[in-house]
Structure 1
Amino acid sequence: MRKARRFVVILAITTSMVALLAACGTKIKETATLPSPVATTAATPEPATRSFTDSKGHTVEIPTHAKKIVYTGSDLGDLLALGVKPAGAALGVIATQVAFPDLLTGIEDIGDTSANLEKVLSLEPDLILMDSGGTYYKSKDFEALNKIAPTVTYDRLPTYERLLVIGDILGKKKEAEDWIKAFKVKVAGIKKQLVVKEGETASVYIRLGKEFYVMGNSGFATILYDTLGYTPAPMVKQNLIDKNERFGDLNNELLPGYAGDYLFVLTDEDETARAAASSFTNDAVFKSIKAVANKKVYYIQTKWNFDDPITKERLLDELPNIME
């Protein structure tokens, strides 16, 4: 009897120990599968400035996000398209010529190509953008401006490329990319509306007084060639675009040779003035141009002779009306 009772006790103890060990094993296993706590670190603050090498090779320490900008170029629409209104800009000439005078409110005029240094200084900018294209750039002007605030030069590139560069300088690269995408969608719609056919040629003339000039691939012409896909007239391509010439002067005898299937004449003369007896429209040579005879000549205001994003965007809205 004692042996039987002892056996029952040992069996009970053994069973209890097995159960206890099993429970412990489960807890150990569960504990092992718990995820490790994630280490939390504070976000690294964005630096206030960054190093930037500009189009002339200057390495300048510029604000990561400039608050007060002065702009000395002629394509002010580049900044405005990115939602940036500069404190000051070179409005000396362009203020009366651009297609967006409504957007100039609040921008101080700093003069023309050679900025008024006292005016720039009074604006207390934290960044100055300087056009390095053509004859605008002078090293002494850069040095003077750079003493006032970090100054960055940029090249006069085609619209999309230039906008991306400006976006990079201002920390607005995404805004630049978004604008380009939206604009390309708009262009596709306008091309269908205008029925632009492959291989159709176009030319752009400028009339200043009694003088005629023909445009290369610059200003208004860029929206015809680069944006809408018209082909430059052969002589325009050969004598201007291939030689990287922005424009050339023409005497009357050369007018027909440079004209394409479509002819756009930049002039601020109204229809009444053009119809006057002394108007170039009554000249025999002008009348001999094929585009004129085919009624494919269009008179465009000179305010459209810029290739910034704002001008291009507004021009696309106007072209269907102009070319009806």
Structure 2
Amino acid sequence: MSSITLSRRTLLRGAGVAGALAAVAGNSAMSTAIAQEAPTTLKGNINHSVARWTFGDLSVDELCTLVKEIGFAAIDLVGPDDWPTLQRHGVDSSMCNGAEISLEDGWAEPDNHAELIERYLRYIDLVAEAGYTNLICFSGNARGMDPEDGLKASAEGLKQIMGAAEERGVVLHMELLNSKVDHPDYLCDNSAWGIELCARIGSPNFKLLYDIYHMQIMEGDVIRTLTDNIDYFGHFHTAGNPGRNELDETQELFYPAICRAILDTGFTGYVAQEFIPSSDDPDTAAEALRAAVMTCDV
């Protein structure tokens, strides 16, 4: 989605990373060590994915090649223009995007409803016709509104498209984002607000995208929260905190335990890597993705 890609890609390390990661390009330009390595043997308990924007300087074709080299087959945050490429590679669009206006302008503002309803009804059909399930949405920023008013407006707007989503088998996921570091003023910045929205909408086709990195910043208590409320969570994102980098010993979240807790709930959706590689070296970035998937492969 262009609005998100442009804002989030500024978090990458500038032109140096762009040039380095571009070198991880399919079988011809990818390093011999990565390209010739056999796919990782995964346990099959966790459905793995990776957010497209975190490797945004690879083409979609190149990213598909990389994920298949590692041994999984799903990419998050991909819109209709790139679905044919995923389909050629046998890679799932595990979280579709493109219907949103922006991260800041979402369902909490009634003035956005007419445009959002039109966009989401169109995308619900596109997602269903492509054979996909998940479509992302956002609360938008508070801009001084009371959280209760934002809940009321969001529920009223979203209810107008839920019938179409249910009919077409599409599940809308509102992402939980932190408002402390990355997305100042974002309204859906805590699990309790999002869970209450789910309760008010009352549809199995409306869930929360629980971003572990964001919710560690806002509220912590990750394992208890996801265990107690798994019925409301339809998708997970990862990243190390602090820094939003690799899932390694430099950060405070212990992802093997988190993913084991997710697995123990019976969750069958996707766990998508959304960390920013800290190295400019293309081989190192590719290996970081491999290592993150293995860390979460409980």
User: TM-score, normalised to structure 2's length?
Assistant: 0.26
Higher CA-based Rg: 1
Query: Relative contact order (alpha carbons < 8 A, sep ≥ 6): 1 or 2 greater?
Result: 2
